Each structure stands twice: as structure tokens, then as C-alpha cells.
Structure 1
Amino acid sequence: MVCRDNLPLSTSEHEGFKRFVKKAVPQYKLPCRTTLTRMIDTKYEFFKKISMAEFATLKSVTLTCDIWTEDQTKQSYLGITVHYLPDSGSDDEICSANIGVVPLSESHTSAYIAKVICESLSDWNISTDSISLMVTDNGANMVAAAREVFGSSRHIGCIGHTLNLIVTQAVAASPALETVIQKVKSIVTFFKNSVTASDNSKKMQLVNGKTEGTLLKLIQDVETRWNSKYQMMERFVALADLISAVLLKLGNTGRDMLTGSELAIIKEAIKLLKPIFRATEELSAEKYTSTSKVIPICYIMRQVRLATFQTSFEYIRDRTTQQFDWPAKTKLAAWDGQTLRNVERVHVYSISTLLDPRFKRLHFSSALTQSEAIQHVSNMMKANLRTSEPEARVSVQKNLSAQIDPDDFWSIHDSIIAATPSVPGHDAPGGIPIELRQFLNTPTVLRTTNPITECRRLKVEYPCLSQIAFKYLSMVATSVPAERLFFKAGSIVTKQRNRLLGKRISKLLFLGSLSEDRWFK
């Protein structure tokens, strides 16, 4: 419970818990806090050895990193998570582990962060050569640290940060729209701070048939929280009639309800921001493939925005004299083209999309970037082929002498054919490997299909291509796992547990990240 449910180490000494255990299992003797701590240390060392042995065999690992400052003590930590497909070949979900919440004792320079990352990887027996990708936010120090350790080719910025930065920039480009949003934020703040307004809101919802467990609350916009602006506006519109009634009932609150035109503006802004909200949710997956979805989602968002963009802004323009819509429209329209071109240039996204049986070449807008992705994959397959061919020739020579029949003229030829392993060939020197060409020419599978499961099914048919596919489909597109790590850390380090050391927090988070199958088997 301490590791899985974030209960304090002193739980076994709480009077209520003692009574519960005595009633449930009378003969069981509860361990004291000291014994419980020792048990956690033992469990941690046991599972760490198992994980280190597994990490040592991995050929492809993705890291996510982020920095968090704990509110109670103002101590900063570097969080590191690892993501990989196990070599056992039986798991169709991406495995994850929290390998570190490292206290930072120096200025957060790129050199210091790079040093901490290298030390953490060494401590867990993870070779830097096995790191296929590192995902961070777009902070200059994190980007520089990642590129110092792994190079620019093995680093990408979090696509979630990029998407939500677009929202901030689009709103900032339209002062009038920003004014309306600030007005909504002011009303939400009033309801959050006023007990009377909050109570009236609850009573009105109960009168309208809501139950205690289904009452809706207003959501506040927080700059550092993704999609909170969209969620604030969406909830505000859902409760607009109730908010208006409460403000009218309370009288002099210093907050005026939005006018009809302003409310119409918020509704249309919601339509424009909804695709970004949905995209962020889709790309924040941790157990399933996300990098291969970036290009398709950006393409789909562009089509959705083209379908709704003009009507939305014309609708807004007809209902307000303020020409706020055109700056925001220009900003979002420029983003549509620019971002789509940029994501296709990121080889991690383009290769992942190309090798995903659900997408392949469907959503590429640029023939050049599609061609470059095919060339990248071809080069990797040829490199693998060059490595395997000498081994195949040695194997053939070893088996020839044992299989030659002096009475059969063609026995040598037959022995070579029988001993030569099936390896991907090429149409011509410098051409596309046959495996890749055949894979791209077959129909795509259903969108709901797990691409990793499908690649395992096709492994016999495409042995060389599947190895590259497993590498890229096991990567994650955002640094959300590292941010989730800090959310969990915040649940552990509370006012009652603010004396926990960084090492203890790291152990609890690692044990808490283990799957139930591993923990209880």
C-alpha cells in the first residue's frame, strides 16, 4: 500500500489501521515503521536487479526527462522514465519504468543535467548506445543537455508542448479574444473564491436534478496546464445559464456576465481549439504507439480546421464590431502549414508513420519527406543486410562439406540454396528493399489495430523490416510520462511527508511504476 497507493510509512502505526488489521487478520503482526522501511529497501534492490538485467539486453530504449520543483521544500528534481518493448516478444504494450527522481544540487545548466542523466543511466546499467530517443520539453537547457549526450538525431521536443504553445500564441495574437477569455477567467476566479456563489451554484444544480456526485464545477485556466484554457471555456459554456442566474441573484459582485456576442465568440473559439485538445490527449499515450500518430493527426487537424475555420471566424465577425478574428486566424493558418511541414521533416515521426501498418504513406503531404523516410528505412535495412551477409556466407561454407554428394553433380548448388537464410533482397543496387516495397504496397489495416501486434504477426514475412518497426513504434511522442511522474511525486511528498529524502522518493516511485504482474508474481 505504501508503494502502490502512496500511503505514508507510518500507516502501520495508525490506530485506525491497526484496528482494521486486527479485525481482518487477528493473528497478523503489523511491521513497525522501521521494519516497513527496511522491507521497501529490500524489495527495491530485488526489483532493481531484475530490471537492470532486462535493461542490459535492450537494443532500443526511449527516455523522457523533465525538471520539477517540490512546493514544500523548494527542492528541484530531475525525473527520468524509460520506455521499451521487452525482448521476450510476447508483450504488445510499451513497458515503462521510473528510474529516477534525482535531487538537483547545482544550477540547472545543460552540462549539469547531462552529467546527472549519464550517471542515472550508468546506475541502471543502461548503455547510452541503446537510447534510440530522448523526449524533453522545449526548454533550452533540457534540449542542450539531450543533444550533448545523445546528439540532435536522437532528441525530439515534446509535441504536446508545441501544440499547446500554438493556443497561447493564437490567443495572444488577438487582444480582443484575449480580453473575453480574461473576463471568463475573472468570473471563474470569483466562483472559486466565493463560498456564497459556489453554494448557490450547487443548489441550483441539485434543483435541476443533479446528484451530489454529478455536480459540475468551473475549471480555472492555468498557464502551465495543457488544455486548461479550452476546458475552462467548455465548462463555462456548459454552466452559462447557471452562472448568469447566480451573478444576477448576488447583485454587486463586480463581475458582469458575458454578453450574447461574447458568449458566441467563446463557443466558436471552443470549436477551433477542440482539435488541439483531442490531439494532445491522443498523443499523450504511454503504453501504446504515439510517434506514428503525429503526422496523421496534424494532417487531420489541418483538414478539420479548413472545414470549420472560415465559418467559425465569419460567424464571430458578424457578431462583434471588434476585428479580433483576423490576427488569430492568420496565426492559426500559418501554423497549419508550418507545423505540418515541420513534423514531416522529423525523421522519427516520418519513419514511425511509414512503418505503422495503419498509416504507411496515407497522410504525407510532401512527396519529398515521404521519399526521404523511405530512403532512411532502406539504408537501415541495407546496413542490417551487410551485417548479416558475412555471417550467412560463413554458415554456408561450414555446411557445404558435410552436404556434398560426389555422385550428384548439382549437390553443391542444392546445398547452397538450402543453407542460405532468407534475407531481404533489392530490386537493383541502391533500390528499395523488396520487404519494404511489398509492405508499402499491401493495404493498410484497421485504425483500431494495435500496430505492434500487427508487426509481430508480420515478423515472419518481413523479418528485417519488423525489427526496425519495433524500434520506432515503441517510442513516445511527448514528455507526459515524466510529468505524470511528478504528479505522483506530488502525491507522495505532502505536508505530512515533507522530510522524505530524494532517494526514498525515487525508490517509492520506481516500485509504484511496476506492473501488477511483476509486483505480485
Structure 2
Amino acid sequence: MARSKIWKYFDKLDLQTAQCLLCEKIIKTCGNTSNLMKHMKTHPQIDVNDHDSVVVRGMLKRDSNRIRVRGKKMLKYASIKIKPEATRDIDAETVADMDGNIIELVDAEAHAAVVSVVNEETYANWAAAEAESATETVCAEDIIEFEPKEAQEQAEQGTPLYHIEDEPLPEVELLVRNLQTPYNTTYQDNLAYFVCHDKQPLKIIEGEGFKRLAQVLCPVLQMPSVDQLGARIAQKTQQQVAQFRQQIAQIQTLSLSCAINTTPSTGNKEKQNSYLEVAAHYHEGLQRRSRTLSVQMLPVQYNASNIVERLDRVCQRFDIDKSKIVCIVSRSSRMLETAIATLLGAQRHMPCFAHLLETIFESVMERSEFRALCDRVRQLTKTADVMSRAMGSYEMLESHLRHAAQLQKTLSSSELDLAAELLAVLAPLASAVRQLCGASVDTYPCASQALPIAFTVLNELKHPENAEQQQHQIAYELRLFVIRLLEERFEGMEKNMQLALASLLDPRYRNMPFQNASLLAKYMTHLYDLYMEKGEVSTDEVGEEATTVHTTYDIWTAFRAISHEKHKHITMNGESENEDEISSYFCTSISSLQSEPLLLWKDLSQFHPFLHSMAKKYLHIPAAAMPPARIFTAAGAEILEQHGKLLGDHMSNMLFMADCNQQEWQL
């Protein structure tokens, strides 16, 4: 594209500013020449379409031969000042070397590009020297001189002769004034927060599109390198690790979850990388919190001892006392179970409930009658293969049945009836999966939900009305198959101490979701034994929690205190005076299912202080070794793909900082 003719009258200082050669004003260009053309209207003597004119600073000479401009140096991203000792008697040779004698760099990284303009006599002498060196004589009528009034006033006052037509915003001036390095700490921390929170690879900042966006948003700041940004993330990680150590030292118990993930290698798609992801789960006030502690690469041929070594390394890094770890949740894997038993003991391992449901769906998809129906739908709709994702075939069949009336190619009426009955059999199981997944791909469900969910699904499948509605033998056999799988796994779940106590100590479920009466009696006896060993628990801790939550007077806090005292008085003088806190807790009806368990315990702790202390020990345990959405939804595959791009020296630090909020980032 041809260069605009307007540039004959301007010098381009940078991407956003240009200086008029006639009046020395600096004009913002904003990527186009509109402001430049507008400014030339202030010089009515100039004919922009005059191709024979040649511009010398401060004059216009009509000559076919361009005169080389001397004594001027472009200083991009630099501000300058005139030395006070500069005299008014400056010859042409001095002007030609004015960079070294009258210009001094102040800050090479400043925002504005400003070129100094010397006094009136300097330009007169310099212009005369240029005129003498020209090949042709210039008449007075061929020269149009421009001496802005502002320049005359500034020359008389002895101030530097420069002017910026469009003043920068105060925020930009403040940013430039506070700029001490090519990129300041706040800018770099927000950039680090972006790549960590969104789990983006560090190399994203090297992309041309990202660089362009950063330049437009903040042109005065330079982009850090990948190594510099990784070093900043490592520095923030060290600060958070130190704070988390102090937090761990103050809490009584926590639980861990570990999962082995496998992603294709970025360089070789056939090669796979395996890494161990470890997360901690604990209570922060009345809220349950989960955060990733470590992501460590595993050898190509790893074993249980490699896992033990990495789990032990995590405990050492965060000063986690192993006696505080209630349990470690993992998938049903002999290698993981062996590693956890070596580290803590076999009794402190808890199976992943989400993995249990995943295996049931995989078993259902392997049945020939169900697989044949799904293959038939794929052929008709040309749907992509979803067999690799748990519950994928169910969702495909469900979507086809819902939109069958609008589809040109669909199943026959008998096949549609069979599909409807198969989906009805699996509907309780699918609802349980969706409940576990929740609204976020990073949410860990509470372990206390596992037994109630499995108990409810079993009862729904065994209900006589559901069996009578099925007319196809295939659907009937599938229902019996799912019931058998659930009963086998439910028995193992009831036998797990951590899972059982988590449900018992959740006010929303208590002792309801149990089928084995002997196991329930065993757990009740265990609670009584612990109660007798520890004796009565003081309620001082409860009072402290109440004062920390309500810093100002609250009418409902006062009402709660009055109701507690009244309830205690009735209990001491009524029929229930012989009941202990364990009996009274399990005799009371279940609480609201929509409330958080620790918020319910805020009221119950006045009457059941011992059980409240036990609840804080077990209610932080997760029901899955990883967020269930990564197992059952398409977002899980995307997250694993993101992790594959992050694999490297900074992956563990980035995923650790991804779980930190803005307050912890100090943004």
C-alpha cells in the first residue's frame, strides 16, 4: 500500500504519535492519518497535493531535490531535557552535534517520545546553513516560515519548546511514573493469575495474537519471557506453601485424594505420560475446601513404591503430620491401595464412589443388547463415538429419543419403546452421576452423600411399580443386572469405616442409608466407645466459633441462644433426661437436604458437642478421587488435554496456584 502523502510533513515518533515538521507539535495518530490531516488545516499556506514541495523543519521549500535533514535524532520511548548551561550562540556545527551537547537522556523506558526543540536563533542559523548547502538558490517568496505563538512565549521564558496536543490520561501518567522495571509486579502477577486460573500453558504469552492484545491494552509494558513468568509463579507458590503450612498446623484433621492421570505426549502421540495428582480436603471455618497440592510425573514403568515416595514427598513439603490424615481416597486399584496401606495403613483407604458408578456404566455398555441399540443410533445419526466416556452412550440414546419426532432417520417404533425402557432402568443411576458432578468441573462431592445415593438408587430399582412397567425382557434383565452390581458394591461401601461415619455424622442422612443392621450396630458401638473415652466435650469451642462468625449483634443469634437454653431445660426436666447426646441425635428426624452439614451442626453443636467434634473429622472427606465431572462429562477430556499441555517444570506450581483465590494471590 502506498505511503500517505501527509507523512511528508510529519516525523513518525512511534506507533501512536507523530511530530509536525512545521510547528513541532506532537499529534496522536491512533493507527491512521485522520488527526494528521486535521492538524494540517491549521496551516492554510500548505497545499498537501503539492508534490514538488520539500519540507525542512520550520519552513517549506519548493524544490524538486529533497534537502537532507541534519541535526535531528529520533529518540523512541525516551524523554529529554535541555541543559540550563546551553548558550544562545550555537553555530551550525554545534547544532549538527546537538545530541551530545544539549540533550540528555532522563529515562530510556518512559512512555512519551519527545524531541527537544532549541531556541529561535538555533533554527535560524541551522536553516541558513541548509539553504547555503542546497544546489539551488531559494528566494524569499518560495519560503513559508512557521513560528507558533506558543513557541515564542516558551522561548522568552527559557522553557523547553515542546507541546503534546492530546494529553495522556492521568492513569497512564501514573503508571509510567511508577514504572521501575520493563514490567511491574502487578502486571506480572495478573498475567500469572490468568495462566494458572485458566490452566493455560505458559507459551501462550509468546503467541502473536496475545502479544498484540497486550500491546493494545498496555503499550508501555513489556511482555515477560516464559522463564520469567514461570519464576514469578514459583515465587508465589513458595509464599502460598509457607502460608498453607501454617494453616495445616492449626487444623485438626484433613483428608487426601490421589489419582493417576494419563495424557498423550505432546511430541509423540503414541507415547503417554502419567502423573500423580494429590489434593487436600479440609474445613476452612464452616466451609469445606479442596485444593491441589502436587502434580508429579511418574516413570514410564511405575509401581507402588514410586507412588509412596511421591505421597511422602507431598507430606514433607507441606509439613503434614500423617496422624492428621483421616484417609486417602483413590480409585479401586491394587497398586494405589498397596501404596496407601504402606504409607498409612490399609484401614485408612477409602474407595472412590464416582469410580464405582463409572464401572457400572461401563458394564452396562458392554452388554450386547444395549451396545447393539447404541450402534444402531450411531449409524442413523452419524454420531461420533462416545464409548470412551462413561455414560456417553446413555446420553446419546437419551438425546435421540427426545428428538426422534424431528429426525428424518430414526429407530423403529419397537426399538424406540425398548430404548425408552432401557433409559428408565438407568435413569436413577444417571441422576446419581449428575448429582455428583454438580455445577463445576472442579467440585469434589462430600463422601457423606455416597451411601444415601447408592441406597436410594437400589430402592428405586427394586420398587415393584418400576418392574411392572417393563414389557421387554431385555429391560427386565438389565434392571436385575444393575441391581446385582449395586448390591455387591454397596456391601463394600458399608464396610468402609470412613464412608459409614461420614454418613452417620451428616445431619441430613444420619443412620437412614444402611441395609446391614449388624454393621450399623457396630458403628454405633464405636461411637459410644469413643464418647466414653473422651468424656464430655466442652462447648467453649462452639462459643468461640459463634463469636467469630458474628462480629456484630444479630437478633437471630440471640434467639438461637435462648432456644438452646430452653431446649436444655426441657431435656433436663423432661422425659428425655436419661438420653445421651448420641441417642438423642439419631432419634431426631433428618435435617434439610439443601443445607451444608457444618451449617446444620452450628445449631446442633449445643446439644451434641462430642458428635460435632467427630463430624468435623469426617465431613471433609470427598466421595471421589478427582472431580466426577472429569470422569463423566466431555469437559473432563478437555481438562486432561489442558494438563497435557502444562506438563513440565511449572505444572505442579500452576495447578497449586490455580486453586488459590484472588485474596491469596494478593491482586
- Normalising by structure 2, report the TM-score: 0.58
Greater C-alpha Rg: 2
CA deviations 1:317-341 (Å, max 9, x no partner) are: 4xxxxxx345423322323544444
- Residue 275 and residue 123 in structure 1: after superposition, are their counterparts in 2 closer, same or farther (change >3 A)? same
Aligned to 1:466, which of 598, 612, 621?
A: 612
Partner of 1:313: 470
Partner of 2:502: 352
CA distance in 1, matches of 2:428, 2:208: 51
SS at match of 2:242: helix
Aligned to 1:262, which of 415, 418, 421?
A: 415
- Residue 380 and residue 519 in structure 1: after superposition, are their counterparts in 2 closer, same or farther (change >3 A)? farther
- Residue 289 and residue 41 in structure 1: after superposition, are their counterparts in 2 closer, same or farther (change >3 A)? closer
Residue identity (%): 21
Aligned to 1:118, which of 297, 306, 312?
A: 312
Partner of 2:400: 236
CA distance in 1, matches of 2:476, 2:281: 43
- Residue 440 and residue 289 in structure 1: after superposition, are their counterparts in 2 closer, same or farther (change >3 A)? farther
CA distance in 1, matches of 2:592, 2:637: 35
CA deviations 1:123-150 (Å, max 9, x no partner) are: 2221222111111111221222222222
CA distance in 2, matches of 1:482, 1:116: 23
CA distance in 1, matches of 2:617, 2:579: 18
- Residue 76 and residue 368 in structure 1: after superposition, are their counterparts in 2 closer, same or farther (change >3 A)? same
CA distance in 2, matches of 1:487, 1:380: 46
Shift of 1:120: 2.2
CA deviations 1:179-219 (Å, max 9, x no partner) are: 2223234445x344xxxxxxxxxxxxxxxxxxxxxxxxxxx
2:243 equivalent to 1:50: yes
Aligned to 1:276, which of 425, 429, 434?
A: 429
CA distance in 1, matches of 2:235, 2:644: 22
Shift of 1:51: 1.4
CA distance in 2, matches of 1:124, 1:231: 42
- Equivalent residue runs for 1:203-352 within 5 Å: 220-223=385-388, 225-243=389-407, 245=408, 247=409, 257-284=410-437, 290-307=446-463, 309-314=466-471, 316-317=472-473, 324-352=474-502
Partner of 1:64: 257
CA distance in 1, matches of 2:234, 2:402: 49
The one-letter amino acid of 2:307's match is I
The one-letter amino acid of 1:292's match is S
**Cα contact 1:94–1:287 (8 A) shared by 2:** no
Partner of 1:427: none
**Cα contact 1:60–1:131 (8 A) shared by 2:** yes
2:298 equivalent to 1:104: yes
Instruction: Provide structure 1 residue ranges, at least 5 long, that are not aligned to the other structure.
Output: 193-219, 248-256, 318-323, 389-431
Q: Which has the higher strand share?
A: 2
CA distance in 2, matches of 1:293, 1:520: 35
Aligned to 1:163, which of 313, 336, 357?
A: 357
CA distance in 1, matches of 2:260, 2:243: 27
**Cα contact 2:258–2:276 (8 A) shared by 1:** yes
CA deviations 1:292-321 (Å, max 9, x no partner) are: 22222222212322335413432x24xxxx
Q: Which has the higher helix share?
A: 1
Shift of 1:465: 1.6
**Cα contact 1:348–1:472 (8 A) shared by 2:** yes
Aligned to 2:530, which of 380, 384, 399?
A: 380
SS at match of 1:258: coil
**Cα contact 2:425–2:475 (8 A) shared by 1:** no
- Residue 38 and residue 337 in structure 1: after superposition, are their counterparts in 2 closer, same or farther (change >3 A)? closer
**Cα contact 2:360–2:482 (8 A) shared by 1:** yes
CA distance in 1, matches of 2:637, 2:376: 31
Partner of 1:491: 642
CA distance in 1, matches of 2:510, 2:487: 21
Which shows bigger deviation, 134-143 or 49-58?
A: 49-58
Instruction: Provide structure 2 residue ranges, at least 5 long, that are not aligned to the other structure.
Output: 1-193, 267-271, 539-577, 631-635
The one-letter amino acid of 1:436's match is I
The one-letter amino acid of 2:496's match is V
**Cα contact 1:296–1:363 (8 A) shared by 2:** yes
* Aligned residue pairs, count: 422
- Residue 492 and residue 107 in structure 1: after superposition, are their counterparts in 2 closer, same or farther (change >3 A)? closer
- Residue 20 and residue 378 in structure 1: after superposition, are their counterparts in 2 closer, same or farther (change >3 A)? same
CA distance in 2, matches of 1:468, 1:23: 56
2:375 equivalent to 1:182: yes
CA deviations 1:241-268 (Å, max 9, x no partner) are: 444x1x5xxxxxxxxx532212211111
- Residue 520 and residue 227 in structure 1: after superposition, are their counterparts in 2 closer, same or farther (change >3 A)? farther
The one-letter amino acid of 2:363's match is Q
Shift of 1:156: 1.6
CA deviations 1:365-385 (Å, max 9, x no partner) are: 332222122112222333333
Which structure would you say has the larger RCO, counting Cα contacts within 8 Å and 6 or more residues apart?
1
2:267 equivalent to 1:78: no
